[in-house]
Amino acid sequence: MHLTKDEEKILQGEEGEAAKKAMELLVVLGDIYGAEKLIDVASAQVSGVSYATIGDAGLDFLEDWASKGAKSRIFATINPAGIDLERWRELGFKENFAKKQLRIVKAYEAMGMLPSCTCAPYLIGNLPHFGEHIAWAESSSVVFANSVLGARTNRESAVSALASALLGKTPYCGLHLEENRKGTFTVEVEAELRSEADYSAMGYYVSGYEGVPVFKNISPSTEELKILSAALGVGTIDMFQIQGITPESSTRKSGSEKVEKIEFGREELKEVYEKLNSAEEVDAICIGCPHCSIAEILKIEQLKPKREVWAFTARQNKPLVEKYIKNKKIKVIYDTCMVVSPLRDLGIEAVGVNSAKAAFYCANLSKLKVRFDSLENLLK
Ligand code: F3S
């Protein structure tokens, strides 16, 4: 991979050990993926924040880099943590876990990153424009940014997104290149999609395929696009198109290239619900995968829930929540989510979710029983 003189200097260690290590990592990745050069990125979204997922090894690594003077050169936001950073004690999170979690967030902060702790950074000010190159790691936000915003990012790992934040660069490969952003198969949507959970179920179904799907016959809302993005990211899909809706939907492969076609009908929809459901009764209804927008929390309020609902969102929404959300049944939890927090420590064994991504990971990572359904049905 070709490096500029300034990049060579970083590689030689002229800008400190952390920058040198970050450059070494990007060079190795660039070589593996055949990138010809590094390009500038406008922002980073860094994953690897919850203590539940990175453990002591991750904590030591981050504190080590922070102590070596690592500093982000671009605007960088971070993924959800494993606790509500302020109310963890009141919510019942364990002290040992919480203290280590707080150290992780502090290390990111020391490296100049915004302790946003959200997986929907585009809702709180990390909003790239069309065609902008970025280095994001959270899969749901990667799919949303590529598909809905038309920004360009590969699905970075926690470490490569961190390296990109420190250098403001990423290897020029994958979805940064025009030719890799074309639709590679079409999805004929024959099922009637009646709720956000239906969109999520469809995303989960299609996440079993590889490439860039082009959906036909659908017209989702912004919130449905958000939940669809998260479900598609459960597999390897990092970008989709919807005819007439997403900004690059005209960039399908040319007529001479064979494009696979799959169908998503009532049977497929039913199949996903059967696969993801393992409980009737739940201990907690958890909404906000990806993190709720303020519009989604207001919608929960409009539905007048009669039982407690936990809504996970970014802390930046707190002033609006405190002013406008009056229903005491809505428990708004900041900085974390139902998947990356140790819900079992809070005595939760079965959750109700409207997101197929949450359903999949709650069952497979956290070993919880799951009811997967639309918000409206969960509240009935
Ligand atoms: Fe976000 Fe947690 Fe879902 S990080 S996308 S709410 S699994």
User: pLDDT tens-digit profile of 223-274?
Assistant: 999 999 999 999 999 999 998 899 998 766 655 566 689 999 999 999 999 9
Would you state the pLDDT for residue 290? 98
Mean pLDDT of all residues belonging to the chain: 96
Both tokens assigned to 236? 């390897």
Would you state the pLDDT for residue 7? 98
What is the number of the ligand 1 atom nearest to the C-alpha of 338?
2
The H or E element spanning position 189 is strand 185-189
Would you state the pLDDT for residue 250? 73
Q: Are 132 and 42 a contacting pair, CB within 8 Å?
A: yes
Distance of CA 63 from the midpoint of ligand 1 (Å): 24
286 within ligand 1 shell (Cβ under 6 A): no
134 Cβ contact partners less than 8 Å away, ≥ 6 residues apart: 41, 42, 43, 44, 45, 128, 145, 151, 152, 153
Q: Which residues of the chain have pLDDT under 70?
A: 251-259
Both tokens assigned to 312? 């996970």
Distance of CA 295 from the midpoint of ligand 1 (Å): 18
159 within ligand 1 shell (Cβ under 6 A): no
CA distance 44 to 207: 24
For residue 14, how many other CB atoms are within 10 A of its CB? 11
Q: Are 227 and 153 a contacting pair, CB within 8 Å?
A: no
Q: Are 252 and 241 a contacting pair, CB within 8 Å?
A: yes
CA-nearest residue for atom 2, ligand 1, is: 337
DSSP state of 187: E
Peptide bond into 290 cis (omega under 30): yes
Top mutation candidate among 53, 79, 227, 357 for ligand 1, by most atoms within 8 Å of CB:
357
361 within ligand 1 shell (Cβ under 6 A): yes
356 within ligand 1 shell (Cβ under 6 A): no
CA-nearest residue for atom 3, ligand 1, is: 289
The pLDDT tens digits of the residues spanning 123-180 come to 999 999 999 999 999 999 999 999 999 999 999 999 999 999 999 999 999 999 999 9
What is the number of the ligand 1 atom nearest to the C-alpha of 361?
7
CA angle 352, 353, 354 (to 5 degrees): 135
CA distance 51 to 49: 6
289 within ligand 1 shell (Cβ under 6 A): yes
Q: Whole-prediction pTM value?
A: 0.97
Would you state the pLDDT for residue 256? 52
DSSP state of 179: G
CA-nearest residue for atom 6, ligand 1, is: 289
Top mutation candidate among 291, 293, 343, 365 for ligand 1, by most atoms within 8 Å of CB:
291
292 within ligand 1 shell (Cβ under 6 A): no
Distance of CA 370 from the midpoint of ligand 1 (Å): 16
Would you state the pLDDT for residue 252? 65
357 within ligand 1 shell (Cβ under 6 A): yes
